[in-house]
């Protein structure tokens, strides 16, 4: 697919509609589409895209937006960064990161949001983030550009983060 589009792009200046045909089910289909479409868009090839999955079409649209956002083509979409968790993680970081990602789908701001597993390294590792949380034991810290704002109970972390994001 990549080679075919490169050949066409070299021979004409028609607008090109990118997509990986019959890419498969959700997991592998999104990976293949991201690799194929992303490789071309980052080389300046392609004008419109489609994602083809053996799945609910809503997932195809979501995946398309996510591919565009991940290569910086949707500047008003927030970027989520989150750590991989390790022995220092004392909260349900995976659940928290997924919940934050879901809530961010309704936010249209060019911001970076960090969800980090510990207060030891979290604020420092994510100091470029506009806003973030770092987990502790039953609580977490809210931080902004690496500076700690306040401590929040684990149960209130998600809502506290979203309130801060609304103020940005
Ligand atoms: S931020 Fe903390 S919990 Fe997350 S990977 Fe780094 S050290 Fe581990």
Under a CB-based contact definition with an 8 Å cutoff, are residues 81 and 129 in contact? yes
116 Cβ closer than 6 Å to some ligand 1 atom: yes
Of the residues 42, 70, 98, which one is the last residue of a structural domain? 70
Pair (86, 161) in one structural domain: yes
The 10s digit of each residue's pLDDT in 52-106 is: 999 999 999 999 999 999 999 999 999 999 999 999 999 999 999 999 999 999 9
Ligand 1 mean position, distance from CA 115 (Å): 10
Mean pLDDT of 35-48: 98
125 Cβ closer than 6 Å to some ligand 1 atom: yes
| CATH code of the domain containing 101 | 3.30.413.10
84 Cβ closer than 6 Å to some ligand 1 atom: yes
The strand pair at 147-153 and 139-144 is best described as: antiparallel
Pair (101, 56) in one structural domain: no
pLDDT band for 8, please (50, 70, 90 cuts). Answer: very high
Give the total number of structural domains in the chain: 2
Residue 44, pLDDT score:
97
Kindly report the protein residue whose alpha carbon is nearest to atom 5 of ligand 1: 85
Please give the number of the atom of ligand 1 that sits closest to the Cα of 89.
3
Candidates 115, 122, 146: which one to mutate for ligand 1, based on the most atoms within 8 Å of Cβ?
122
Domain that holds residue 163: 79-167
Kindly report the protein residue whose alpha carbon is nearest to atom 8 of ligand 1: 86
Pair (99, 51) in one structural domain: no
Pair (83, 63) in one structural domain: no
Tokens of 49: 């895209």
Kindly report the protein residue whose alpha carbon is nearest to atom 2 of ligand 1: 118
Model-level pTM? Answer: 0.89
Residue 4, pLDDT score:
97
Mean pLDDT of 38-44: 98
Instruction: Count other C-beta atoms under 10 Å from residue 62's C-beta.
Output: 15
Pair (41, 106) in one structural domain: no
Please give the number of the atom of ligand 1 that sits closest to the Cα of 86.
8
Enumerate residues 6+ apart whose C-beta is below 8 A from 118: 86, 88, 89, 90, 134, 135, 136
88 Cβ closer than 6 Å to some ligand 1 atom: yes
């Amino acid at each position: 697919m990549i080679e075919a589009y490169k050949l066409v792009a070299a021979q004409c200046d028609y607008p090109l509609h990118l997509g990986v045909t019959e890419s498969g089910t959700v997991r592998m289909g999104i990976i293949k589409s991201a690799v194929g479409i992303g490789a071309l868009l980052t080389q300046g090839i392609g004008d419109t895209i489609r994602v083809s999955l053996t799945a609910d079409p809503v997932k195809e649209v979501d995946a398309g937006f996510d591919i565009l956002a991940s290569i910086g083509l949707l500047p008003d979409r927030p970027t989520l960064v989150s750590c991989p968790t390790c022995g220092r993680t004392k909260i349900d970081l995976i659940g928290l990161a997924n919940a934050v990602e879901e809530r961010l789908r309704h936010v249209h701001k060019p911001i970076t949001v960090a969800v980090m597993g510990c207060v030891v390294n979290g604020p420092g590792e994510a100091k470029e983030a506009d806003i973030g949380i770092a987990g502790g034991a039953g609580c977490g810290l809210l931080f902004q550009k690496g500076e700690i704002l306040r401590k929040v109970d684990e149960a209130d972390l998600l809502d506290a983060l979203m309130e801060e994001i609304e103020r940005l």
